[in-house]
Chain A
Amino acid sequence: MKPVAHTSLRNTAAAVMASLVAASLLFLHPVAQGESPPTAVFWLMLVVLAGAALWTIRRVAAIHGTRFDGVLTAALFGLWVLYFWQVLVVALEVPRVLLPAPSLIVQSLMDNPDKLWGDFSQTVLKAVCVGWLLGSGLGFAVAVAIDRMPFLQRGLLPLASLTSTVPLVAVAPIAVMWFGFDWPSKAAVVVLMTFFPMLVSTLAGLKSAGKLERELMHSYAASYSRTLWSLRLPAATPFIFGALKVNATLALIGAIVAEFFGSPTVGLGFRISTEAARMNMSLVWGAIVVAAVTGSLAYALLVQLERRAAFWHPSIRGK
């Protein structure tokens, strides 16, 4: 695919700008502000704008060869989805219970910073962080510990792989019974959910060092611990980070779902389930936004950390 000529690029940028300006003008229309019932003219303008939106997305998607072209289309698409969500929900007067407008969700984020911060610190800072660190740490430690015991490895690996097919989050009621309603029970569920992926990945990672390299270490008469430290653990870092990333999502899911089974009156899962029962949907969406942003931020952070820690690895070096 050859890069698009500069004039065409400039035209696309102009088209995007023009459509965005038109969109913001239409946004000020009384119908889009919810001040008057929708008219035929408004619908006509909206349909034209939708056509323009699709066209700009296609134009941007056809750009190749610039640095940001991958993200650009997705960002523009997301922007248009948000825009039409907002305008359509307001114009059609969709009940808030069904789908609150994005502006209402932002409003609820602004209105309840204390509540949501409390939920965030309860669920993420306590349950998820502690559980994720403990579970991943334990998985790693056990994997390194049984590295020299092939018998245990052969026994543990099949069992550990089986756990991925089992809904582990279902241990939540038992955890609540043992550790009480507060965050330790959620952390316990998270430990259980994150332990096995880390164990399996670390074991696979420790086996991933190449034969040549291992033989080189052997020819240096390197001790077991020296080989482990200088060759096999570094070779395992991509696997370990892979598990850390998977575990970050699993930990959030585990903590939130465990709160559905019983929790003190704070926490993201508690907020989502109780406010959904009270039909206060904009706050539910607010809590979900917090959870989603946390998940993606944690993921992005781990990707960055991986680049720092394993900058020499072929899978990273190329980027």
Chain B
Amino acid sequence: MATSNKPAPPHWARRMWDTGVPVAVLLIVFLLIWYAAAWGMNGTAAVERVLEPAGNPWTWQELLLTTWNMERPVLPAPHQIALDFWSGLVDWPLDSPRNLLFHVAVTGETTLVGFVLGTLLGLVLAVLIVHSNTLDRALLPWIVASQTVPVLAIAPIVLVILGSLGLEGLAPKAVIAMYLSFFPVTVAMVQGLRSPLVIETEMMHTYAASRWQSLWMLRLPAALPFLFPALRVGIAASLVGAMVAELPTGATAGLGARLLTGSYYGNTLAIWSALVMSALLGLLLTTLVAATEHLALRHRRQP
């Protein structure tokens, strides 16, 4: 933010130093442990499958290199995953099921559609709950209680029901992503829409503001700081829902489907690449929400 009248954010360089260095050090240590673990976990297989059939006596350097470059390792070395990931990005045309971006597009589409629908549903429900004492007392306890229940388990049922209604493809998966993401939004928005102080609602009342006006001008803006954390939770839940929804249908496209086919064929590298990709997708989506939050709330001074 380039606002001239505000002082620059305090010591960003120092903050980078304070967290960036420890994170970098930890990541390097983590990589070293990973290589050591790859050597330990692939050792026996490397000896049995590669080195002994070759017949020649082998040195420990050879053993080390072999464990880090196995074809189907128990634990692939990081550079193997990076190479497979990169080849999954660039070596195939975009519409080929071997291209990771193809799967990202499928899962990302489901996630986003489900997330948008879920957010809308959550907003509408929250507005209704805030304005209706009956709904507040009849529905909200169930919505809160459902947070303690593994709702993701209903995914196969949703797929079967929508499948027998003739819906296939994107719709059933998006519905699952939707119902996972609407819970947090509803709960947070009910809290947020109620966050204006009594004095503020009374002022709207003295202006003879209608319900709509006070919703639009007072309650919704007041609820925004509550909405965005819920959206971050919601989009992460939506992604999990989208990936899990790809499992029972035997879908061939999407990151979840790629994980499943990888585990069927014992293709370790494909699983790991899909795993890295889904982590990146999750990070990207959350970053997008966080960036929107930053844009939407940039005029509010954080205390």
Contacts and interface: CB of A to CB of B under 8 A. Distances in A.
A276 interface: yes
A63 to B, nearest CB: 9
Given A155-B22, A167-B278, A273-B156, 13 more contacts: A70-B137, A77-B139, A97-B164, A158-B19, A173-B262, A177-B268, A249-B149, A260-B244, A260-B247, A276-B248, A281-B160, A288-B154, A295-B150
Most chain A beta carbons < 10 A, residue from B18, B148, B232, B283 = B148
Contacts of B272: 174
A74 interface: yes
A229 to B, nearest CB: 27
B266 interface: yes
Interface of A: 57-58, 60-62, 69-71, 73-74, 76-78, 95, 97-99, 151-156, 158-159, 162, 164-167, 169-174, 176-178, 245, 248-249, 252-253, 256-257, 260-262, 268-269, 272-273, 276-277, 279, 281, 284-285, 287-288, 291-292, 295-296, 298-299
A170 B134 contact: no
B261 to A, nearest CB: 10
Main SS class of interface, A: helix
A140 to B, nearest CB: 20
A261 B259 contact: yes
A37 B207 CA distance: 57
Contacts of B150: 249, 252-253, 256, 291-292, 295
A174 B156 contact: no
B243 interface: yes
B113 interface: no
Contacts of B285: 165
Nearest to A150: B22
Given A58-B134, A70-B141, A167-B279, A248 B148 contact: yes
Nearest to A303: B148
Nearest to B283: A165
Interface in B228-276: 232, 236, 239-240, 243-244, 247-248, 255-256, 259-260, 262-263, 266, 268, 271-272, 274-275
10 contacts: A78-B142, A155-B19, A165-B236, A167-B279, A167-B282, A169-B240, A170-B275, A174-B275, A256-B152, A292-B149
Contact of B142 (A77, A158, A169, A245): A77
B15 to A, nearest CB: 10
Given A151-B22, A296-B148, A277 B248 contact: yes
B148 A249 contact: yes
A260 B147 CA distance: 21
Contacts of A176: 263
A170 B277 CA distance: 11
Contacts of B240: 167, 169
A177 B26 contact: no
A281 B157 CA distance: 8
A77 B248 contact: no
A158 B15 CA distance: 13
B214 interface: no
A260 B239 CA distance: 17
B248 A152 contact: no
Most chain B beta carbons < 10 A, residue from A155, A162, A172 = A155
